[in-house]
Structure 1
Amino acid sequence: MNVNSNYILVGLGGTGGKVLKAFKKRMFQEFSAEERAKIPVGFVYVDTTDEMMRPGDKTWYVLGENAQFNTNEFVFIKGVDLDQIFANPTGFPGLSGVIGDPEVMQKTIGNLGAAAGQKRRAGRILFGANVARYRQAVNAQYDKCKVISGNDKTTVLIFSGLAGGTGSGSIVDVVAQTRKMDQFNNEGTSIVVFPMIPEVTPPGGCDAGRYHANGYAALQELNALMVGAYKPFDLTGLSPTGRVEFGGIKRIANGLMVYSDVNENGYTVNPHTELPQIVSDFAFARVFMETNGNTEEYERSFSFENIDDWRTEYWEKAKNGEIVPYRTKALGSFGIKRIIIPDEEIKEYFTWTLGRQSLLQLRYNNWNDDIGFRDAPANVDWADYVKGQDKKLGNPLENWRFSDKHLMLDIPILPSDEGKWGTFQAYWGKVVPKWLEDAQDASQPIAKLNELVAKGLQSGFRAAGIADFFAGKKEAREKIADEIVQRIEADLFDKWAAGTFALYNLLELSEAIMAETQSKIKQFEDRSVKLRQVVDKLEQERQARAKEYNDAGLITRGLKGKQMLAGYAETMQKICVRKTEVEASGFALDLLKVLLGKENILHSRLEKFVSTVSDAIEEADRQAGSRCKDEVNTTSLEGTVIRYYDQPKVKEFTQTMVHSRKNQENISTAVRQEILKAIGSEKTFARANETIDQDVLDGIFEKTVREKVISIHDNTLVEASEKLINRSILEQLAEQYTSADSLSNFARKIMKESGVMVKLNHTEVGLSVPNNPTTEIGKNVAKKVILVSLPKVEGN
């Protein structure tokens, strides 16, 4: 990394913003955060729309980091009300010359709508109303760069389209106001402008009737500014003359690097996607170029120092003796041809493909040695499991508090009830024999026992009596149902977190739990009826035993009395247990109905989380499918980026990784752990849905999965000749072109097919003009400089 000057990149409108975006994203790709902090490069993006500033825009993310402009790098110039300016023009003295008659200007501009409405005057006024904010933003970036570099040498690169209202309207004022700033008001500061010439055929829907006119007018103004024939109005309102005074500086801008979507060989690129990247790559190469004796001529051409003697063409119709600067010749263009191994794209292909596999593990966990983790579930029958009858998977009912004994509160569900009371059988089995002992001494033992039992049923059972106890618990059934569902959810979450169950298993299991709950509702409805029938039979038995005892004489009672009373007490104990179960069954029925609703809610949460993972699988499919799909054609070199890599080997190695169970489980475990880390300490699917979305999963892919697949690649493909990433393009070319002749032919073809991003009229280029030196192509016009930049041999 070698930056020999402070650089401030200014982007105007959508075109300029896209170039800055591509540049900044490449910085994030090439350099770490620590390295970027030491680079004296600043950004100022000026626009009438804040579309590029919307939070969470995934197009800004690079390796999991958001490269988006910060607020100090963005100047939003549509935050002013033009109608207020027109209503009070004296309040904006810097705009008076631009506006002229405010009423006429207001009618001329009309309603802007989106952005600057392709109206140059609107773009100019909007910039003028915000010129102070622009200067502040540039100042801030200059100060930042100066602190980093320790010097004040600065180069300002201004990028703009000329077809829209924002760029076309503001570019002349941006150049003038930048040069006027104290830090840049000297010949030592280079200002290079990159204006994009409007396409010959405007993209669909882009031409509002001013597309080409805007470009022509902006170029005319830039030309006049460059030759000193035009001084724009001083939008700050501080100039005594009302115009921007440059204090004798001849180079208001060092030059214009014009470009279009068609290069000199007729090769057309997409103006919205490819072209901003090309411009950015060219600027990036200049900013980070290591300077030496071989780069001197290139540097001089970039700053237009190599045409100092021929910067201006004079008016051919001037009278004898008059020298009238008329046209700037500080015009250049550029082309760039990058010969690369698409290292980043290959890494991304690995990442998305293997990341998709990790999500399939989370979703289905169904391994097949021939294809890796399958995109389909394994067949599992959960019916026995939710009944607690699956010997292989175990019995979860105790943990869930979902057994019949729990549902009837024979044993506690809530932690707060634990240790307070025993089972129905334990309670009645303890108190009834004691009451029998107390009753035996009474004159009428059966009546006494009946009295004690009735009291126990009414108020003794669990210090409340069976009716009141279960009535109270019915009031708390929402809380009790929550406890069960929370336990179920915690268990499902833990089993998924441990990799025991897949998400699809959890959905099936959740459905099985709801089905079992519905089945239990029917069972308890039937049980309540049967229990009442049992109580009725026991009541008949009790009455018969009471009659037998009461009818017995003194001798019979003396011989069998205790035995008869014990039998009676045993029947009474059974009645107490069954009556308790009747109340308990009614409670269980109410609880299950509440529980079913809460289980449905849990199931919905599971479905939502599974849907997030399923969507992420589809996104991974799409992302992987959009990468490494080109067939490498080494015979066609007309594109701006020539890609050299062995695509079949990339696909083959990817499948090798997919089929490695060890690698797949390693990646899947790491992905799951990162998801769990993002969810935090609250292990619920509600929390999972709050915290996990496509952005989070993308971040996990771009960091965790990426690191894993690169490590697998490096540890598997050890030899340099085998490697598919992290290798030098020179090594790749050496393998492709094994002789000096073949390499020379390749180099010649590259040179031939390279071209600057503008089509020239060669008749005009060679034309000599009166009052000017004779045209000499290659000397005072159409000078061409070619720089070949090679990577270090030991690295990519």
Structure 2
Amino acid sequence: MNPNHMIIGLGGTGGKIIRAVRKTIFQEFRSLNPEDVSIGYLYIDSSDELMRLDDPTWKILGQSVQLGPNSQLHIRCSNLSSILENLTNYPGIRPWIGDRAIWNDILGGIVGDAIGGQKRRLGRFLFANHATEFCDRLTSQVRELQAGGETSVTFHVCTGLAGGTGSGTILDVLCQIRRLYPDSLQYRIIGYLLLPEEHPKPNWNTGNYHANGYAALAELNALSIGKFVPCNIAGDGGKMTGLQTPFNGAYLFTTHNENGLALSVDDIPNVVADFLYQKIVTVRKVNWASLARQENAENGDGMPETIPGTNVGVRSKRWLAFGVKRIAVPEEEIAEYLAYQFARQAALQLRYNNWSETEGYLPNAKNVDLMSYVSAPEQLERWLLSDEHLLLSSPVLEADGTQGRWQPIGRYWTTVTGAFKQDIEEREEGAKWLDSLKGRLELRFSDQYRGHGVKAFYQTVSASARERAREIRQKLERELFGNWRDGARSVHEISGLVGSVITYLRNRSERFDDDVAKAKAQEEALSKKLKDQEKEWAKVGVISDMFGKRKRLFDICALTLQDLYACRTRIEGWQFAKKFTPVLLEEITQLKAELDRSSAMIAEAVKNFEEQIAERCVEDSSQVDYRQQIIRFYDPELVRIVTRRLTKDAREQLTQTQRVRSALVALLGDKLDFRTFNERINKTTFLDVLENQCMENAKISHNNLIESTKERLIGVSIIDKLRDRYGDRQALRLFIDGIVKAAGNYLIFNPDEIKRSAPGINPAAQICVSNFTVILPKAPEAEDFVKMLREIFWECVQTTAREFLDGSKPNEIILTSVTNLFPLRVVQLLSFLRARYLERVNGQNPARARMELHIEGDGQSLPSLFLPSRGELQERIAPYLLLGMALGLIAGRENERGAQELAMLTKDEFGFETPLFLEGATIPEALANIPEPKALTLEEAVGKQLADPEIRRDPKRNELTQKVVSLVNDLVRQLPPTDPRGKSLPDWGRKAVKLLRGEG
């Protein structure tokens, strides 16, 4: 089958069908590009209601399937009056546009940009202004389709016939496609035409609703048989006389199927979309040759019904009807329901990590005393947030602690003081010990502490405060990210923990001034203590020195100096901490912001997953709803029960959430932190990772834990499910009978018209040829049940042409019915549409009505869609019968029975005259009895006479006019006063006179 397809939607109905097609494809594949088939789209409308990129009606399963701008053609136009004033500049419009005065009335009622508004010619007017753009868009899309190597393309043109836009553009769209792609075998064109509802929604019928449908069908019928040749609106306006097979076939459909199933007009696009899906996508793997033959009228006599006695076609048989229904286990939807439940669990673990044995991961946080945890000394030490780190008493950067240069402040001064003291005692005189120690310690404090001196050191490290703050943040973040990666903590808990760190640091920084004040008070006390000790030192004499007093006093002074310089250093440290902590808070706050960003994104994902879950597996399966296009054959409650069991399995959820975390971490490379997480994983990426990973997780979990075949949700066969539910033949038959009836044609036929026999109808040609196709999956393990299933389908399907095809998907059965090779007269709705059409064209303003309804001309020259009734035949032939009498073509002759009968002399193929008896001795009798073939022969003979220019000139014309008038008056006088023909004869006479004048 052809892999290239172009779906063209005209007007609102066409747009809705395209929308439904794209939704169907996405629902089946979770992509708009199924394998092995290329599909292009072009939506044309005078309203942009369905064209907006943010239109929510194009969403399916949370995703938008809206068309791109290159697949939309908005045929708006606000300068129609200007065009009418300058028609010479618009050759594609001028030949057919019609009466300017009528247009002034039409356009006078339009405010702003014009839309079709149930006026077919207005719809064409709008399209004509964009016809070249349409052709360019079309050829561009076809080139894209053909880029795959296959040149053939099937065009599917979808519209409703009640409105102005779709109904007004359908003929031109068909003709322009065929003009650009004339090979009807390589480029097949199929129409999909929604007929007007007999009882439309309130306010839908603004005057032409039903009449539009009839006018469009009349023109399409004439186009199909070559009796209507439109102007080329994309060119010079000339007639497109060279078109062959403007369309291969056209499906007609309504909201009611032949078996009484009634749908809303809003549901019909889904039906058409599913039929298109089967024809375009399913057919890739199914040998469905019968459908292609039907669509090209190759399964019977596709020749039109003719004028009796001629080969001139009048009623095309290129029409089709269809029905379609699917029975399916919605495996993709079930798998997605499982996957989204797993994804929700994974997202909740990432965000809250709050497990419940009865519910799985909960959508709320655990209650934890994070402040106590954060302020514990061991945590502060590990995260470099202790006072010693804030004072830079302990190293922060890796380089701070190299070669043992850094020691805590207290230890440092203890070590330095002890070393100095020992050296002094060994090298210097006792009286100089204290001064020497004070000098060395002061020098160390002012110039040598950590290579700079205390004040200089803190001034130096202040310049690198940002680097040290980042180091602390990174150390904290590495640990916490590792906790999150391993599933030990949730992002919400980590965010709360970091928030507690921020609170701790803020509270701690508020006490720094107190720490400085305490340190200064301690410094003052130590300084006073040292002075007192120095006084004692000065009193040491020779004798007391001999008894060890100097040594003991030196030890005491050294301890005081040690504490004093440690205190002075801490004062500088606290001053540094006051400046450093805001920088550190800024870094930690940035970390908190990254965590909150991650948490918010995960929260959005949870909401998204919950929305996706809410859209799936929600039906009530207790009753079969035959109105649904896809009969979804499964138990939603079983799906929910099994899913709950899987999501509450602690071991399975621990494993599957770890897989999700690993998949996310793999995207980060070597930078395992929350900033990188946010930079590399946006919401779309996060959703994609969880959806894909959890789809795999759900299937693994399902296959590992669900052992019972009756509980299995994925990888099940529709055959098995039918066998489980309908083991009883009678129950299965009731179900199948309902499905078969629901798959009936969405077009009701008139059985009397189908049976009708008349001249021009080939009695050997079958009409309304139907074929019912059932596409069943192979199920060798259920051979007996499949055999019974086929038998029941055979019993329920009423058509004689039935076929079973092998399907490629084990979870669905497809039923289609297609009827073709019928003229429009057999469509039951057509009589109603004609009646509404005649009301419009015979109303108060027939000229305007005809111009609004027909895209060219007034429609009076179009072939009739019905076989003529006796009354219609009388109306048509009476003027010609009167003219035949006036012209002398008809006279009374003796028939084979010896009775007088009106007859017309005709000549056979050799030129011999032969009387054609008209089935009556008088004009009224002949009109009542003349067969259609004889009537048409009479019409043709009189027409040839009228073509003689001499007859149209005076005095011959006046002479014939008087004969007609005299004949009519004589006939009227012969009739009783109550005979209705007394009123009809003058009307027929007037029509005869108009024919003489060339006005007929």
Counterpart of 2:848 in structure 1 is none
| 1:400 and 2:383 aligned | yes
Distance 1:619 1:426 in 2: 57
Go from structure 1 to structure 2 and tell me whether the alpha carbon gap of 1:25 and 1:473 turns closer, same or farther (over 3 Å shift).
Answer: same
Distance 2:63 2:673 in 1: 27
Counterpart of 1:421 in structure 2 is 406
Go from structure 1 to structure 2 and tell me whether the alpha carbon gap of 1:574 and 1:752 turns closer, same or farther (over 3 Å shift).
Answer: same
1:92-107 → structure 2 map (5 Å cutoff): none
| 1:278 and 2:276 aligned | no
SS at match of 1:630: coil
Distance 2:57 2:400 in 1: 51
String of CA shifts for 1:746-779, please: whole Å, max 9, x gaps: 3333333433334x47489569698753999x94
Q: Is the 8 A contact 2:123 2:168 kept in 1?
A: yes
Q: What is the aligned-residue identity percentage?
A: 26
Q: Is the 8 A contact 2:389 2:395 kept in 1?
A: yes
Counterpart of 2:636 in structure 1 is 647
Counterpart of 2:509 in structure 1 is 521
- Offset at residue 538 of structure 1 (A): 0.8
For 1:258, the aligned partner's letter is L
SS at match of 1:333: strand
Distance 1:348 1:227 in 2: 51
Counterpart of 1:392 in structure 2 is none
Counterpart of 1:705 in structure 2 is 694
Distance 1:52 1:700 in 2: 31
Go from structure 1 to structure 2 and tell me whether the alpha carbon gap of 1:598 and 1:230 turns closer, same or farther (over 3 Å shift).
Answer: farther
Counterpart of 2:524 in structure 1 is 536
- Offset at residue 324 of structure 1 (A): 7.5
2:395 to 402, 412, 420: 412
- Offset at residue 65 of structure 1 (A): 10
String of CA shifts for 1:640-685, please: whole Å, max 9, x gaps: 3222223332222112212211221222122222333445554333
Q: Is the 8 A contact 1:372 1:661 kept in 2?
A: yes
Counterpart of 1:548 in structure 2 is 536
2:183 to 164, 185, 192: 185
Which deviates further from its counterpart, 577-586 or 707-716?
707-716
| 1:338 and 2:356 aligned | no
1:77 to 73, 77, 80: 73
- Offset at residue 542 of structure 1 (A): 1.1
- Offset at residue 578 of structure 1 (A): 0.9
1:790 to 753, 759, 776: 776
SS at match of 1:787: strand
Q: Is the 8 A contact 1:549 1:557 kept in 2?
A: no
Q: Is the 8 A contact 2:305 2:761 kept in 1?
A: no
1:171-250 → structure 2 map (5 Å cutoff): 171-182=170-181, 184-187=182-185, 189-197=187-195, 219=217, 221-237=219-235, 242-247=238-243, 249=244
Distance 2:125 2:475 in 1: 64
Counterpart of 2:966 in structure 1 is none
| 1:506 and 2:494 aligned | yes
Which deviates further from its counterpart, 624-633 or 325-334?
325-334
SS at match of 1:194: strand
Distance 2:159 2:399 in 1: 70
| 1:568 and 2:562 aligned | no
Q: Is the 8 A contact 2:53 2:66 kept in 1?
A: no
Q: Is the 8 A contact 1:224 1:326 kept in 2?
A: yes
SS at match of 2:250: strand
String of CA shifts for 1:343-382, please: whole Å, max 9, x gaps: 2222222222222222222222222323222333333222
Counterpart of 1:666 in structure 2 is 655
| 1:258 and 2:282 aligned | no
Go from structure 1 to structure 2 and tell me whether the alpha carbon gap of 1:170 and 1:414 turns closer, same or farther (over 3 Å shift).
Answer: farther
Go from structure 1 to structure 2 and tell me whether the alpha carbon gap of 1:529 and 1:83 turns closer, same or farther (over 3 Å shift).
Answer: farther
Q: Is the 8 A contact 2:540 2:549 kept in 1?
A: no
SS at match of 1:790: strand
Go from structure 1 to structure 2 and tell me whether the alpha carbon gap of 1:252 and 1:35 turns closer, same or farther (over 3 Å shift).
Answer: closer
Q: Is the 8 A contact 1:172 1:222 kept in 2?
A: yes
- Offset at residue 192 of structure 1 (A): 0.5
Distance 1:200 1:570 in 2: 110
For 2:629, the aligned partner's letter is T
2:448 to 460, 463, 473: 460
Go from structure 1 to structure 2 and tell me whether the alpha carbon gap of 1:659 and 1:135 turns closer, same or farther (over 3 Å shift).
Answer: closer
Go from structure 1 to structure 2 and tell me whether the alpha carbon gap of 1:397 and 1:18 turns closer, same or farther (over 3 Å shift).
Answer: farther
Distance 1:613 1:157 in 2: 43
CA RMSD of aligned residues (A): 4.5
Go from structure 1 to structure 2 and tell me whether the alpha carbon gap of 1:530 and 1:32 turns closer, same or farther (over 3 Å shift).
Answer: closer
Q: Is the 8 A contact 2:325 2:742 kept in 1?
A: no
Distance 1:365 1:291 in 2: 47
Go from structure 1 to structure 2 and tell me whether the alpha carbon gap of 1:714 and 1:453 turns closer, same or farther (over 3 Å shift).
Answer: closer
TM-score by length of 2: 0.67
Go from structure 1 to structure 2 and tell me whether the alpha carbon gap of 1:158 and 1:550 turns closer, same or farther (over 3 Å shift).
Answer: same
User: How many aligned positions are there?
Assistant: 767
SS at match of 1:256: strand
Go from structure 1 to structure 2 and tell me whether the alpha carbon gap of 1:352 and 1:242 turns closer, same or farther (over 3 Å shift).
Answer: same
Distance 1:116 1:130 in 2: 22
SS at match of 1:651: helix
Counterpart of 1:773 in structure 2 is 761
Distance 2:565 2:203 in 1: 85
Identify unmatched segments of 5+ residues in structure 2: 781-809, 812-1000
Go from structure 1 to structure 2 and tell me whether the alpha carbon gap of 1:155 and 1:670 turns closer, same or farther (over 3 Å shift).
Answer: same
| Higher Rg of the two aligned structures | 2
1:534-613 → structure 2 map (5 Å cutoff): 534-557=522-545, 559-613=548-602
2:39 to 42, 61, 85: 42
Q: Is the 8 A contact 1:457 1:465 kept in 2?
A: yes
Q: Is the 8 A contact 1:83 1:106 kept in 2?
A: no
2:727 to 738, 747, 752: 738
| 1:112 and 2:113 aligned | yes
SS at match of 1:160: strand
Distance 2:173 2:180 in 1: 11
- Offset at residue 537 of structure 1 (A): 1.2
For 1:143, the aligned partner's letter is Q
SS at match of 2:672: coil
Distance 1:595 1:207 in 2: 72
Q: Is the 8 A contact 1:342 1:643 kept in 2?
A: yes
Distance 1:294 1:607 in 2: 56
Go from structure 1 to structure 2 and tell me whether the alpha carbon gap of 1:754 and 1:633 turns closer, same or farther (over 3 Å shift).
Answer: farther
Distance 1:479 1:206 in 2: 72
String of CA shifts for 1:430-454, please: whole Å, max 9, x gaps: 4444555469748855445444433
- Offset at residue 580 of structure 1 (A): 0.9
String of CA shifts for 1:162-217, please: whole Å, max 9, x gaps: 567764454333211211224x4345542111133466777799999987787666
- Offset at residue 279 of structure 1 (A): 1.5
Q: Is the 8 A contact 1:120 1:169 kept in 2?
A: yes
1:609-620 → structure 2 map (5 Å cutoff): 609-620=598-609
Go from structure 1 to structure 2 and tell me whether the alpha carbon gap of 1:510 and 1:288 turns closer, same or farther (over 3 Å shift).
Answer: closer
Counterpart of 2:348 in structure 1 is 360
For 1:378, the aligned partner's letter is K
| 1:750 and 2:733 aligned | no
Which deviates further from its counterpart, 171-180 or 782-791?
782-791
Q: Is the 8 A contact 1:198 1:212 kept in 2?
A: yes
1:357-396 → structure 2 map (5 Å cutoff): 357-388=345-376, 395-396=378-379
Go from structure 1 to structure 2 and tell me whether the alpha carbon gap of 1:97 and 1:185 turns closer, same or farther (over 3 Å shift).
Answer: farther
Q: Is the 8 A contact 2:58 2:65 kept in 1?
A: no
String of CA shifts for 1:732-755, please: whole Å, max 9, x gaps: 222222244443343333333433
Go from structure 1 to structure 2 and tell me whether the alpha carbon gap of 1:630 and 1:305 turns closer, same or farther (over 3 Å shift).
Answer: same
Q: Is the 8 A contact 1:768 1:775 kept in 2?
A: no
Go from structure 1 to structure 2 and tell me whether the alpha carbon gap of 1:632 and 1:34 turns closer, same or farther (over 3 Å shift).
Answer: closer
For 1:282, the aligned partner's letter is F
SS at match of 2:773: coil
Go from structure 1 to structure 2 and tell me whether the alpha carbon gap of 1:189 and 1:650 turns closer, same or farther (over 3 Å shift).
Answer: same
